[in-house]
Homo-oligomer: A and B are copies of this chain.
């Protein structure tokens, strides 16, 4: 019995697909991901095609994209020559991998560009001072964020989870009595 015969599974999948579009991910990609996430076994591409009613080529592209995020991986199923696919089930891992990839694709190039622009602007006598200042500020801001991310990224997962559970209370460890929660 196909997974999506269940109305709640289908509702999940449809919503997940829409979520994707709102964050710049194409609907097919996020739907394939949702299907694999809900599945209790590795699925071959053909079955994804059948269950979602998408073109074979489209599913192939979607799987490639999901693998590039490292949130779906190919697995071998014995007795079957076809490739099968499974989604990462640990949601914390899923989130950090998506974040890492989007930073790599979009944020890092942006930081690089801002850096170039800022560097050129400081030497440019003709540049309006506020333009120079605003772009420099943006570059510094994104660099700071990126630096923070790189530090947090390498923390062991249990540490990350512990920190998150701690929530705003981490602020109580700061000097200067800044914390409201402490």
Interface residue ranges, A against B (CB under 8 Å): 3, 6, 8-9, 11-12, 15, 19, 21-24, 37-40, 89, 91-92, 95, 106, 110, 113-114, 117, 120-121, 124, 126-128, 130-131, 134-135, 137-138, 141, 144-145, 147-148, 151-152, 154-156, 158-159, 162-171, 173-174, 176, 178-181
Contacts and interface: CB of A to CB of B under 8 A. Distances in A.
B154 A168 contact: yes
Contact of A8 (B127, B176, B180): B127
Q: Is the interface of A mostly helix, strand, loop or mixed?
A: helix
B151 A174 contact: no
Contacts of A166: 174
B11 A113 contact: yes
A174 B161 CA distance: 11
Contact of A120 (B8, B124, B145): B8
7 contacts: A22-B106, A23-B24, A24-B24, A144-B165, A154-B168, A154-B180, A159-B171
B180 A164 contact: no
Contacts of A110: 15, 19
Nearest to A25: B24
- Interface pairs A-B: 7 shortest CB-CB: A151-B167, A151-B168, A40-B130, A91-B141, A173-B173, A159-B178, A8-B117
A144 B128 contact: no
B163 A6 contact: no
Given A148-B167, A168-B152, A3 B117 contact: no
A140 to B, nearest CB: 9
A131 to B, nearest CB: 5
